[in-house]
Amino acid sequence: MIDESTETIPDLKRAMTPKPLVLLRCLRPRQWTKNLLLFAGLVFTAKFTDAAAVLRVVAGFAVFCALAGVAYLLNDLRDVEQDRLHPAKRHRPIACGLISPAEALIYALFLGAAAMTASYYLGLPFALIAAAYFGMNVLYSIWLKHMVIVDIFCIATGFVMRALAGVEILKAMDPKVYITPWFLLCAFFLALFLAICKRRNEVVMVQSNGGGAVTRRVISEYSPALLDQMVSITTTSTILTYGLWAKLGQFQNTHMLYTLPLVVFGVFRYLYLVYKRNEGGEPETLLLSDVPLILCVCAWLVMIVAILFQASHSGSLRVH
């Protein structure tokens, strides 16, 4: 129950905050960085200089951002009462009254319909993947996020779906386009690695607070020791599958394997942040705030593009 002396505060906030900004907050744009994986197909098929391909992938990125935003809206609608009791989540727009539940539902339905309609024009396979991605997100919010181990597998599967969606956009233009399964496996294990590190941070935070801050019952099903074992396995799997992709994937005639040290450094840096600085609770923020990690990712991207550019001009590139 909201105290009568403060129940006019949400109305005042709603009146003073522009509605578009409120809606944008509901869609959680910070989380959109996860959808950048759609551009992997653009890079790894050497089509980053094709303007038409770039525009199509940008459109696909917008579709996935919209669908993710709809899923967040529906999740906040479902958990609004719990969020109002949470020290941080109570500031979310629906929980604090910046937008009414009825308005949020209308926006969600409109945005979801628009996104799915747009996805159809990018190709039926892409539309099916987008629908599956959205469906899994809804199921995750309602049910799957409460199932131990299944919850982190759902997060990893979502990243694989993003990579596949980016490839399907390009395949609609060129049926010969593909990305080797090694890359998809690497994306899966990397996402699993990040999800497990996130869970570990949550468990450690709960234990440091004496076990009294559990807002999701699945957190109590994990322990630091169990998650440490999972981190060890996924760290090895990520590096191994990346190395196999670089050596045996569609770029086996290039120098792609030389990017492996940067990947190892990036993984080790992330582990340092998780274990020594107790960070990792918000991977999307950490990946955009830690300077050494940002420099590592930028160096990796520059090296990838340079290798593909050199290989394409020397005739050694075989992506089809």
Q: Are residues 65 and 98 in the same domain?
A: yes
90-99, 134-143, 206-215: which range is least confident on average? 206-215
Select from 161, 178, 195 the last residue of a domain: 178
* Residue 16 pLDDT: 58
Domain termination residue (choose one: 178, 212, 247): 178
* Residues 220 and 157 reside in one and the same domain: no
User: What's the whole-model pTM score?
Assistant: 0.80
What is the spatial distance between Cα 89 and Cα 51, in angstroms, rounded to a whole number?
Answer: 41
The answer as to whether 64 is a domain residue is yes
Task: Tell me: do 173 and 270 sit in the same domain.
Answer: no
Is residue 6, in this structure, part of any structural domain at all?
no
pLDDT at position 132: 95
| Shared domain check, 152 and 190 | no
Give the pLDDT confidence score for residue 232 in this predicted structure.
95
Q: How many domains does the chain have?
A: 2
Q: What is the pLDDT of residue 212?
A: 52
> Does 4 have pLDDT greater than 50?
no
Q: Which of 82, 77, 78, 106 is CA-nearest to residue 93? A: 77
Residue 16 lies in a domain: no
Question: Residue 49 belongs to what domain range?
Answer: 22-178
pLDDT at 138: 87
The per-residue pLDDT of the chain, averaged, comes to 82
Q: Which of these three, 130, 146, 178, is where a domain ends?
A: 178
Judge if 147 and 43 occupy the same domain.
Answer: yes
Same domain? For 28 and 170 the reply is: yes
